[in-house]
Chains A and B, each alone.
Chain A
């Protein structure tokens, strides 16, 4: 079918737990797409990833039909998982909550490479390291 893209949006939704509540309702409602069907399809597709927050990019076509692709979890979620912490520091410049090895930043960058606006893994890892520092996570450049 002749699919002309009218808009797009990325949401972060717990796997298998999408509902019409925010962000799904207000973000997709303005495009006039079938929210119940999106919720059903997203939950079916991500049922096996329960417990993870899944970024999903929804593409809306000119006749209000849609398609979506799920992406890798957000960098802050992967950093918290790698450091085994539940939340970021409230005062990251003075209160450090964990240390992440540079090698782990590179692993996260590799995993997220197709979603990052980075030219190579090294620059992707530097973006991940910046995210880690903003969360009060120190970066150990020697490991």
Chain B
């Protein structure tokens, strides 16, 4: 099936009214890109996201997309629809500023959207020893290769991001069996599951996001690691002083890592290692300054794309 996709560049003040009008004209749905919406997300307290400056864009401009059935796409129909929309914009413009009101129409093929997104995911060969595979793909492992079964969803950590891959790389280099591991900001649970595959005898997986906790529990069950991984909503500050680990994993973001570094050493066993990832290279120096001030030394540094990861040891 073919749909007519209409895009209108307008103002944040007018975008909802125009959307309402297009629905009344028979649109099957609308989508809006309004900078105010993403500002509300990135400015939430305690949810530090990384983002490029151009993500927010022009605060005075919003883009509306609407989808109509294909019968609006014939030459006459297309012109009629365009004329009707322009007339509607003119009418709305007498009450609310509508900005440029630029209209474009293009054809889109209606796919099997319920399944089309799966084409983006293929098994990720992290190393000779580790593969991350979606559950719907029956991956045949090589001898000695571990598989993490993971479906992408509402929690970060599908395995395709550089920061996750860097942490997995550090784990593969340094993690020995019979260790106790803390996974702070566990997201999808991918790192906890990898720790279990590499022989950790106990893993505490913590996240402040309840969706991440729920996703980790599901993924831990899929990978049959429930007896090794304890999943809880919480953060480093909620641990007692007695809880100490051979490895602490922090694949978070630089600003949160900087906050946690001063107390991380309190939970590290002698000879233990702290893996910090999710650090944009432009924030590397800030992290290093606080790490050194907190008594950590750089044991290993890895870089991929714009992301940096460290294995830190502690002198105490």
> What residues of B have a CB within 8 angstroms of the CB of A65 in the complex?
152-158, 187-188
> What residues of A have a CB within 8 angstroms of the CB of B212 in the complex?
1
With A5-B51, A130-B13, A130-B95 as contacts: A24 and B158 at CB distance below 8 Å: no
B256 CB to nearest A CB, Å: 9
Q: Judge whether A107 is part of the interface by a CB distance below 8 angstroms.
A: no
Q: Judge whether B241 is part of the interface by a CB distance below 8 angstroms.
A: no
> What residues of B have a CB within 8 angstroms of the CB of A116 in the complex?
36
For chain B, the count of residues having a C-beta within 8 Å of the partner chain is 71
- A69 touching B41 by the CB < 8 A rule? yes
B29 CB to nearest A CB, Å: 3
A138 to B160, CA, bound (A): 54
> What residues of A have a CB within 8 angstroms of the CB of B253 in the complex?
2-3
Q: Contact partner of B160 among A23, A64, A92, CB < 8 A? A: A64
Q: Which of B3, B95, B185, B307 has the most CB of A within 10 A?
A: B95
Chain B contact residues, majority secondary structure: mixed
Residues in chain B within 8 A of chain A (CB atoms): 3, 5, 12-13, 16-17, 19-21, 24, 28-34, 36-38, 40-42, 49-51, 55, 59, 65-67, 91-92, 94-96, 108, 110-111, 113-114, 116-117, 120-121, 151-161, 163-164, 185-188, 211-212, 251-253, 277-279, 307
Residues in chain A within 8 A of chain B (CB atoms): 1-5, 7-13, 20-29, 32-38, 41, 57, 59, 61-67, 69, 71, 74-77, 87-88, 92-93, 114-117, 127, 130-131, 133-135
